[in-house]
Every structure is written in C-alpha cells, then in structure tokens.
Amino acid sequence: MLKKEFSDAFKKFIECMILLLGIPLGVLFDRFIIHYGWRLSDIFHYVFLVSIIVYPPVAGLTIFQSEKKDRAFEYLFSLPLSRFKILLYKIGPRFFFLLLLIIASNFFSIFDNISINGLNLIVVFFISTFLSISVNSSVIGVVGAFFFYAGYYQASRIIHLIFIGWDPAKFNNFSTGALLSELLTAALFLIPIGTAFWITFKKFDVKPLKWQLKSYLYIVVPTVLVFYTFIILSFKNFTELSG
Amino acid sequence: MEKHAMININNLSFSYGKLKVFENFHLDVPEGEVCLITGINGVGKSTLMRLIAGVLRPAGGEILFDEKMGPDHRRKIGFISDILSLYESLTVAQSIEFHKSVYNLDKFDDSLIRHTKISDNQKIKELSTGQKTIFHLSLILSTEPEILLIDEIIHSIDAYLRRIFLEQLIQIQSERQLTIIMVNLNFHDIEHIVERVILLKAGKIAVDEQIDDLKAKVKKIISSITPQAVPVLSQIDFSDHSEFYVYPYEEKVKGKIDGEVVDLNLTEIVSAFIGGEYA
C-alpha cells in the first residue's frame, strides 16, 4: 500500500511542481512581449513560492481522492489494515514530499531571499488533511482550509503579542517568542481538529458522509468559533491599546 | 454432528439516518455452508453483507467470527460488493502487487483470469464489468479466505466465465469448507451450490430454510379456486385459472387441494416470496 501512496503523493507533487514551468514561460513572455526586464531569479522567486504554497493544501485535501473518485473506500476498508496504518501510509509519503519542499526552500534561501515558514506549511497540510474526510467539494475544502489557516495565523500573532505585553515595537516574526507562539497555537488548533478527524476516521465506513460528521460538529465548529472569538476580542483590545 | 457457527450475528442494529434497516437482528452461519440471502430491493441484503465484511459499522450488537479466523478476521473474509470497488487508476499488475503487499502473499492465483482477455498493463477502469468481477474474484481467492461474501455480481460475468468460476468455487468449497454467503437475484446458475435460503423482510428473517426443505414446502397450485388448506404467498391470475404459490405446503394436505400441485425451482420459489411482498 505504501508504494501506491508514494506514487499518488508523487503525482500530486509533480502536479504542483508543474507550476515551475511558468519560469521559462515568464522569461519568454518578458523577452518577447512586455520587455519589463524581469530577472530569472525574480520569476523563479514568485513561481517557486506559489508552487510551495499550493502543495500542502492540495496534498492534504486529496489524501482520500482515489477512494472518493473510484468508490474504493469499500475495498480499502475490507482490507486487513488498521485505520492507524491506513492513515500512516496516507500521510507519510505526502509529508515526505512536503519536507522535501521545505528543505528545497531553505536551500534556495541561501541564494535568494525566499522566506518560507515551514511550520506554517505543515499546519496548512494538517488542516487540509484533517478536513479532507469531511468535505466532498474541493472548492469548499480550499475555502475551509484557508479560513482555518487564517484563524490559526491571526491567533498565533495575537498570542505572540500577549507574550510581548502588547508592545508592537517588540513584534518580530523571526524571534523565538514568535516560533513558540506559533507552536502553541498550532497545538491548540490542530489537536482538537485532529481529534475530530481521528474519531471520525476510526469509525468511518461507507455510509453517506452526512451521518458521520458529528465529531466535526461537536469539536471543530466550537474550536473555530473559540479561535475567531478570541481573535475578534483581542483585536478590539489591541486597537484600544494602540489607539 | 452440528457444525459450529463461522459467523454469529447478535442483536445487530443498523440504520441510515432515521431509516432503521436492522434492529435486534440475529443470524448464525455454520462453517462450510453456502447461504443465499434474498428479499425485495432495499430490504438490507447488501447492507448485511457490508456489515459482515466490516465496511459498515453496526450501531448496536455484534458480529462474531470463529476463532480460526484469527485476530484480524478481515484477512480471512473475501468480499466482492455490487459496486466493484477497486482502485480504477491502477493497472491489473499494480492491483495484484497492491493486494499481494497488503496480504503478504508470495503468489497470485491467476487460474481465473487466464481464461479472460485481461492483460497486465490494462487499467482497472478499462476493464468491462464482467472482467472486473472476475479479476476481483481472483484477487479475493488468492488470499484463501475462510468466508466469501458475493454481493449480486455473478450475473455480470458472461456464461462461459461464470461456469468456470462456479466450478472453481465448488472445488474450493469442497476442499476447504469455505463458508459462502451470496446475495443474488438470478438463481439459475447457483441453485446447485446453495444449501440454505434466507429471505429478509423489514429487517428480519422471514424465511430461513435448507434448500431441500424449502423446495418441499413451496409449491405452485394450478386451480380455479383459492386453496384453503395452505397459506397462499402470491398468485397470478389467468383467464380460466390461477396459479397459487403456497407456503408452507405439507404432503398430508394434498388430498384437500382441488388442483395440480407443481414443484418449483429456486428462481420460482424466491419470485413467489418476493411477489408476496409486493402484493
């Protein structure tokens, strides 16, 4: 099974990396049509950034794509594989390619000022993975993943601000405090969503989806509401402080 | 000597939302038995198969398997559903490799598919329904299951392959005491291998008989008047006479019946019961 999942993950990886073909196209476009004088490194910078940002949600949201498309859940669940093993085989290869991308981005950052927050990519990947089972529409999946990530991102900044005593002057995205805030927010956000995902997946069967999403209703929805309430209340507080 | 239960279903409950399919359902299937489950569409035949296969989870009750099935009984259950669930994007060779890796098999028994025109490089989605069925059955038989669950799919195989498959099934069944549960609406081909017939009605077992007993108890009476000595399941009216399907028929009432008593085959028996459901 691992071989199949590696193959599926590799296909998704290649699909996302096809965006890199935009680099020579961009050069040709500039050279023959618009003559803006773009440098190869400028084009590489933006196209590589986009391709790196696209991979985590695509890899996460499509983790059960072949089962959904081929109606192969029935086959998969009839196999003598524990749910934990299935998940491990599904997540492992996709996470491996994500790590490759993060390593590549760190490598390119030596030559270019590409700054990729690997932790954020990992958070997006897990948000998308945890949402994958609960949505059938890719549009809703992408919007949901973006909405959840926005909540995580804002909350991590606010937690960082709380740590530094609401002093915007001390705010530094690259500080240890910022990293710790991100890690704490990631844990606070991903643990409940991951728990809902695991509870659902552990009992998941071939019944229609709408009868299997209670955990999402009782865990994920309150978590997101708490996060956004926290963001709204804190921003009010922040505005008052800075005002 | 009574055989021990290979499958033991106790107090099974299952529903789709508010629609209750099974409530306090019981069923024992002994080792080596070939059992046919039938009933009208939507009665829960396929749901029961999926529950036994473990691809649906019961809301209540339990499905127990004989100890010889080992700690993970799914390793010893072969399930082929009516929707032919396989990874469509894989090739035949890749599917075989996938199946072998999951079951830790050294070899693949290709005795069934070598009769077909399936090639290793063909994608599953390129196979016909019959070819997919034969291929899926081959995958399942390679794992040497103790229990085989076949859901309403045999009719999709052409007559030649169906004969080969059923011959192989009979051979395996006699060699290894394979327990087989089939859901089917076309009984002609399987009549000679079925031992027990279970008719589901409203989430319960309405009829549970050995096939020979059933054949002795279900008869067609051709008469112009409704028989009073036996319960009528269903009837078909013609201009000058009617055909009454009766159950349970006993030889001792023969003298009280005004009409011709006719034996039935399995297809006619099941049609009589299902006809009664729709009446």
Helix (H) or strand (E) holding B106: none
- pLDDT, residue A92, reads 96
Alpha-carbon torsion (A192, A197, A199, A202), positive or negative: negative
pLDDT band for B1, please (50, 70, 90 cuts).
low
pTM given for the model: 0.87
Tokens of B54: 């473990």
Tell me whether residues B53 and A78 touch, CB distance under 8 A.
yes
- pLDDT, residue A198, reads 96
d(CA B125, CA B91): 9
- pLDDT, residue A115, reads 75
DSSP state of B2: P
Name the percent of chain B lying above pLDDT 70: 97
d(CA A168, CA B241): 96
Indicate the pairing of strand B260-262 with strand B34-38.
Answer: unpaired
Taking the CA of residue A40 and the nearest CA in chain B, the distance in Å comes to 38
Q: Count CB atoms within 10 A of the CB of residue B192.
A: 11
- pLDDT, residue B123, reads 94
- pLDDT, residue A219, reads 95
d(CA B74, CA B133): 20
Helical pair A2-17 and B92-103, crossing angle rounded to 10 deg: 130
- pLDDT, residue A240, reads 66
Contacts of A75 in chain B (CB under 8 A): 85-87
d(CA B61, CA B23): 9
Specify the 3-state DSSP secondary structure of A173.
Answer: coil
Taking the CA of residue A210 and the nearest CA in chain B, the distance in Å comes to 9
Contact A30, A76 (CB under 8 A): no
Indicate the pairing of strand B179-183 with strand B5-16.
Answer: unpaired
Contacts of A4 in chain B (CB under 8 A): 87, 90, 94, 98
Size of interface A-B (CB pairs under 8 A): 68
Taking the CA of residue A130 and the nearest CA in chain B, the distance in Å comes to 21
Interface of A with B in 52-71 (CB under 8 A): 66, 69-71
**Where does chain A have alpha helices with state H?**
2-17, 22-29, 40-61, 65-70, 73-78, 83-108, 118-132, 138-163, 176-203, 214-215, 221-242
Mean pLDDT of chain B: 88
Tell me whether residues A74 and B85 touch, CB distance under 8 A.
yes
Taking the CA of residue B72 and the nearest CA in chain A, the distance in Å comes to 7
- pLDDT, residue B172, reads 83
List Cα–Cα distances, B236 to A159, B71, B221, B222, B229, in angstroms: 78, 51, 11, 10, 18
Contact A47, A131 (CB under 8 A): no
Mean pLDDT of B92-119: 88
Kindly identify which residue of chain A lies nearest to residue B74, measuring between CA atoms: A80
pLDDT (tens digit, 9 = 90+) per residue, B114-169?
A: 878 889 999 999 998 888 888 998 899 899 899 999 987 777 778 887 888 888 88
Specify the 3-state DSSP secondary structure of B207.
Answer: strand
List Cα–Cα distances, B146 to A114, A129, A169, B75, B128, in angstroms: 58, 36, 71, 9, 28
Q: Count CB atoms within 10 A of the CB of residue A101.
A: 22
Asked if B103 reaches chain A (Cβ–Cβ under 8 Å), the answer is yes
Kindly identify which residue of chain A lies nearest to residue B103, measuring between CA atoms: A80
d(CA B273, CA B106): 46
List Cα–Cα distances, A118 to A100, A114, A122, B85, B223, in angstroms: 11, 12, 6, 37, 83
d(CA B206, CA B234): 15
Asked if B53 reaches chain A (Cβ–Cβ under 8 Å), the answer is yes
Q: Smallest Cβ distance to B54: which of A66, A78, A207? A: A78
Q: Smallest Cβ distance to A77: which of B55, B89, B102? A: B55
DSSP state of B91: B
Taking the CA of residue A186 and the nearest CA in chain B, the distance in Å comes to 32
Closest CA to A193 of A135, A238, A129: A129
DSSP string covering A61-98: HTTTHHHHHHT-HHHHHHSS--HHHHHHHHHHHHHHHH
Taking the CA of residue B101 and the nearest CA in chain A, the distance in Å comes to 7
Tokens of B105: 């098999």
Contacts of B51 in chain A (CB under 8 A): none
Asked if B55 reaches chain A (Cβ–Cβ under 8 Å), the answer is yes
Closest CA to B225 of B247, B248, B241: B241
Contacts of A83 in chain B (CB under 8 A): none
Please give chain A's pLDDT, 243 residues, in tens.
888 899 999 999 998 888 888 888 888 888 888 888 888 888 888 888 888 999 999 999 999 988 988 889 999 999 999 999 999 999 999 999 999 999 998 888 877 777 788 999 999 999 999 999 998 888 999 999 999 999 999 999 899 988 888 887 888 888 899 999 999 999 999 999 999 999 999 999 888 888 889 999 999 999 999 999 999 888 776 666 555
Name the percent of chain B lying above pLDDT 90: 43
Asked if A107 reaches chain B (Cβ–Cβ under 8 Å), the answer is no
